[in-house]
Amino acid sequence: MSKRLRIPVNGFCFFFHQDGCPYCAKLLNENWSLRPLVEKTQENFEVIAINIWGDQEVTDLRGTETTEKRFSESLKVMYTPTLIFLDEAGRQALRINGYYPPHKFEAALDYVAGHLERKQPYRDYLASVQPQAVSGNLHREVGFLPLPLDLRAKARESNKPLLVLMEQKACSACDELHGKIMRIPAVRKTLDAFDIALVDVWSGETLTTPGGVQRTVSEWTKALGIQYVPSMLFFDPAGKEVFRAEAFLKTFHTHAAMETRHSICAQHALFRSDGKRCFLAGVLKTFTPMQRWIMYPLAPILVNLISNDMCNPGRRRWKHRASLSI
């Protein structure tokens, strides 16, 4: 099937790649696993992947039929990855030869999406915004579960709920989570109530899952459907996932997510013992999903204002996925 290239409303991004290209994999696995970069790309561009050695037929912007290989040659693509951004009129707005790390790549997306190529060269724009590089480190802290990870409750010798942090080395949001948010005293106090495991989503190491299955990290994260970093996954002592927050959140919402999981009273108070929604759940139902998520940590306070007859905590566990995935 031929690829017919037509300029969409917001413009094109040609992604030139080849098999076995480590920096193409780095672009896909690191840059495009970060939610801000995924959103900015999807909102502003239609991305077309072109294999520089491919024989698939392509109809270029002039209507000429060619192949991926000849199309790449016509644009003098010599490196992979190469990204060529076109505006709505089909004019080249920016060309990136080679791999850009996330902070510099995000600046490039902002530059093209804002049509700033009409005002100043990219070099001048980059100098003016001075994007900050990521640390490139995993933030494995004292007190985190040791390697190799065994996430079973009996192996942890603890009755605490389990918090699994899904992260990667090139992640500015991970840097901020550990360097700022998790340094706040109130957040640290909440974290003390958890066993915490840090997982590198691209690691080939083997671990034992909360359910007692031995898998490689990459197999487990794929099975869990992890799309973005950082992601926070909360498991009960039985090894069942009960809550997750995906992608970067501001301090208040990060702390709220932790408090929500820790507050067993808040979870159980949303249901009667017979499984029917209680009065409090009916009130929360009037809020938007995000408002309900923010309000859940306040549920124990609200429950105290409601008689036990109206809202009797039952054994059914409340499960809520605070997913921000797209």
Architecture of domain 3-129: 3-Layer(aba) Sandwich (3.40)
Of 211 and 171, more confident:
211
Q: Which of 147, 149, 145, 139 is nearest to 183 (CA)?
A: 139
pLDDT at residue 251 is higher than 80 = no
Alpha-carbon distance of 198 to 175, in angstroms, equals 13
Q: What is the mean pLDDT of residues 8-12?
A: 66
**Tens-digit pLDDT profile for residues 156-198:** 877 788 999 999 887 888 888 898 888 889 888 888 888 999 9
pLDDT tier at 216, thresholds 50, 70, 90: very high
Count the Cβ atoms, other than its own, within 10 Å of residue 271. Answer: 21
Q: Where are the alpha helices (DSSP H) in 84-224?
A: 102-113, 122-129, 153-156, 172-179, 185-191, 217-224
pTM of the model as a whole: 0.55
Q: What is the mean pLDDT of residues 253-267?
A: 49
Architecture of domain 135-262: 3-Layer(aba) Sandwich (3.40)
- 84-89-91 Cα angle (round to 5): 40
Alpha-carbon distance of 294 to 178, in angstroms, equals 21
**Tens-digit pLDDT profile for residues 95-112:** 998 888 888 899 999 999
pLDDT at residue 80 is higher than 70 = yes
What's the chain's average pLDDT? 76
Q: Which of 313, 320, 160 is nearest to 236 (CA)?
A: 160
Domain boundaries, the chain: 3-129, 135-262, 263-326
Q: What is the mean pLDDT of residues 259-286?
A: 42
pLDDT at residue 237 is higher than 80 = no
Alpha-carbon distance of 126 to 307, in angstroms, equals 60
